[in-house]
Homo-oligomer: A and B are copies of this chain.
């Protein structure tokens, strides 16, 4: 059951496709006071949701803001990451979903100020508010997802393993990465190009010095079964003579300041302008520029810097330099010194700058801060819509850093610029179901960690979880330790682990597509499946993956195993040294399971089928028909196996699914 309430004059986000009739607000469990929704939380009540954010699967005990933010320090004390996902579920006596549909900020105090109280505070009085009540948690999710529309479906090849780094700064460097993998028979399907490939970070350009004959490089990679996936930034370099800039300027496509002049910010190339992605004409103009790369044979993109990240605004920077002069002559003490240091640190992504430029959206002028969370969404949507026109038959891979609900229909998200921290591996695990609820199925984190130096064991453990996530990409920042799998002594373990992905692929793709086409989750917290099991509900580091298996990744350094909670009897399937080993059945309860580095373990439910392929060195090599069906139990249920060509834009559950039985 859905109820929709309209408060004030909301700005349309297009998050919801088919809106139910608006109802008159009536107080129930939620009280509304001064634009804040409040309710008490029972002692054992769990609050799920909020997509991409910090902390647990259960969001209780912290305060969150939906406010797309470019902040790479994903520590527990943060309140926002790159996405704004205003959907949550109360798992109390009744199961209740809440969605706040607004492009502006919303604050969710979920037992932070008072552990037994929840407060939801939209920043403005203009928003739509949805309440969904269903019998089950899955039911709430499904109803919500039907409301917001089908999740993005990438091409099949995008389920292969990808290697990325900010720092592949020449065609030769890219070739070396490809060779590093192929020569050592480490499976791979894609290499990502970070900002290095562009000419001085200008969108839709190629650095001809370092990437001469880019088309040939693309072709060579294709021959090796490797897709090149370039990055596209949200800001366009302000440079006379640069055609994209000139066109944007002439067309009036850039966001304007209060005086109607193009708003100038600093990002990678230095001074830049922001295409008004929200505006249909401007966004579409920008989106059609992707054709430059599509025409070269590129079939996948990642959209970055689209919170939008603002290193500085021209005006903000000038003010800072002026204020610095005031500090020069002072005795800098505890107050003034840190004020000086913080002023320089806080130049970037400042609220002041977000209040200083304007969009032309659906025929009206809006200050950016009113519609902040739509920028990454619309950048990705415009591109996706252009791809339907430019590539009507073939799916194009597309995922984004910033997002909000609505964007899930147009692209995936990676989980932002994380760090090579064990705690971020755990965060990656926890974010999967939270994002799935909100419609983001194609997602994954930078395996091995983006910032800071990785370690060999962290990378292996992260890959061992990454084999399950639809987006499986190893990515890192320049200046840190290189983390391509072939660089390590235990490369053979990495080969084994990455190889598991390709064995799992038929199951993963089948589960992904069923989740997408049925508006379901691929990764679920245990509490969704075993809601009456008090211990299962508390589990924060294991996930149900599709209908057949549970996973329990290792995320602690030097661990050689871990305790696992079995909510029902399950059989251990162990991937070890390229082999698949069927081990014992664990009874309901806790057990310690040995998981040495390089082993990947999945736990098969009784009477369910896990189909596994023979694997391959890229997706094309995987034989989706030559499957081994693993199962145990007396009453094995048939498995609904979804397949399609992995490429065309026509999806049909009926024709795609066939039944596997043993």
A→B interface (CB under 8 Å):
44, 46, 55-56, 58, 60-62, 73, 75-77, 112, 114-116, 195, 200-201, 266-271, 311-312, 317, 321, 324, 328, 331-334, 336-337, 340-341, 344-345, 347-348, 419-423, 451-453, 455-458, 489-490, 535, 538, 540, 556-561, 563, 565, 590-592
Contacts and interface: CB of A to CB of B under 8 A. Distances in A.
A540 B556 contact: yes
Given A420-B77, A453-B77, A590-B592, A266 B321 contact: no
Contacts of A347: 341
B77 A558 contact: no
Contact of A60 (B311, B331, B558): B558
Q: 9 tightest A-B contacts by CB?
A: A270-B333, A270-B331, A77-B452, A344-B344, A76-B421, A268-B334, A563-B563, A58-B558, A61-B557
A189 B540 CA distance: 38
Given A345-B344, A590-B563, A558 B540 contact: yes
Contact of A560 (B337, B538, B556): B538
A451 B78 CA distance: 12
B61 A457 contact: yes
Contact of A590 (B270, B535, B591): B591
Contact of A312 (B337, B344, B560): B337
B201 A333 contact: yes
Contacts of A195: 334
A130 to B, nearest CB: 26
A453 B109 CA distance: 13
Contact of A56 (B44, B334, B557): B557
A93 B61 CA distance: 45
Tally of this chain's copies:
2
Contacts of A328: 321
A257 B62 CA distance: 48
Nearest to A334: B268
Most buried by B among A76, A421, A422: A76
A401 B147 CA distance: 55
Nearest to A589: B592
Nearest to A558: B58
Given A331-B271, A344-B345, A590-B592, A337 B266 contact: yes
10 contacts: A44-B560, A60-B557, A61-B458, A114-B489, A116-B489, A200-B333, A266-B337, A341-B344, A538-B560, A590-B590
Contact of A266 (B332, B420, B490): B332
A540 to B, nearest CB: 7
Contacts of A345: 341, 344-345
A422 B76 CA distance: 8
Contacts of A341: 344-345, 347-348
Contact of A457 (B115, B337, B421, B457): B115
Nearest to A457: B61
B489 A557 contact: no
Contacts of A455: 61-62, 112, 115
A536 B590 CA distance: 17
Given A76-B421, A341-B344, A270 B58 contact: no
A538 B268 CA distance: 45
A200 B335 CA distance: 11
Contacts of A540: 556, 558-559
Given A557-B61, A558-B61, A558-B540, A115 B456 contact: yes
A423 B76 CA distance: 8
A115 B493 CA distance: 13
